Amino acid sequence: MRTSGGRGPTTPQDKAIALIRTAMIEKKINQAELADAADCHEKTVQNLLGGKSVRQQTLFDVCMVLGLDYEALRATWSGEAPGSVAVTDERASPVTTPQSAGVGGAIAPVYMGAYTRDGVDHYVGSYLTLRPDFARPAHIMAYRTDIVWEAAWPSLTFEERDRPDPSYAHRGRVYIPASSMYIHLVSLTKGAMRMVVVSQLDRLGVMRGIITTQHKAGAMLMPVSAPIVYAQRPSFQGLQLGEVKPADAAFAEYHVILRETIEQGYARMLTVADNAAK
């Protein structure tokens, strides 16, 4: 018996499982959703909640999804002081924790690309962000996006600032696949996802690609995609932000930068040709 007389957890594993279950309830996430977010099989989550041994990386990813302190939960599970043992496939044994492994002293979760802090430091900074205005495509939206390293949930995060429509500003996380020329800036709010796919930062500090989101057209939300550019800037003094119109001084420069995103092959906007072969 793992519990006695309904008095609650009696073993270290019980206490750790109780913390996980409480976090799942608070975040309103079920086993299948947790498995998907932690990039593992649902059976693995079932094993974890059943008190069976799982990989250290799995426990780490589950903690990242649920916002739990990995080191504290690992120590609770093992019944040892933090830093002494870890959950493994077969038994507890001394290992290096995910936070301290690799270059930089911190590693993003596997489902985000398992990148190290030192490996992505060049992304940290502020970016002039340009895309067409969804309501008036002939105009350009210009605003600031900050990318920082978040230690509490080891990964890069981005946050939009200085938008003329601040209530629609997004904040999310940066996903960097190990074998891809592109990175993903993803925000998720109450089930609604917005994804930006852009090229990795080049030597000029520029990332180019496409944004896919929803635009409010009247009373309806409509899916929309458009080219987008992030240009790293040490200062925003003198830069025009907000809605940039064709008559504005900055429009010509911004328009060229956006146009090159398509012309130079960083993204393609496809439509069904009227004369498509039958």
The neighbouring-strand residues paired with 116 are 107
pLDDT at 215: 85
Give the residue range(s) of CATH 2.40.160 domains in the chain: 118-263
Q: Does domain 118-263 have CATH number 1.10.287?
A: no
Q: What is the mean pLDDT of residues 18-39?
A: 86
pLDDT at 242: 95
d(CA 126, CA 159): 10
Class of domain 12-101: mainly alpha
- pLDDT single digits (tens) 198-219: 999 999 999 999 999 988 777 7
Higher-pLDDT residue of 227, 41 = 227
Give the residue range(s) of CATH 1.10.260.40 domains in the chain: 12-101
Secondary structure of 46-86 in HEC code, one letter for each residue: HHHHCCCCCCHHHHHHHHHHHCCCHHHHHHHHHCCCCCCCE
> Which residues, 6 or more positions from 160, have their beta carbon under 8 angstroms from its beta carbon?
129, 143, 144, 145, 169, 170, 171
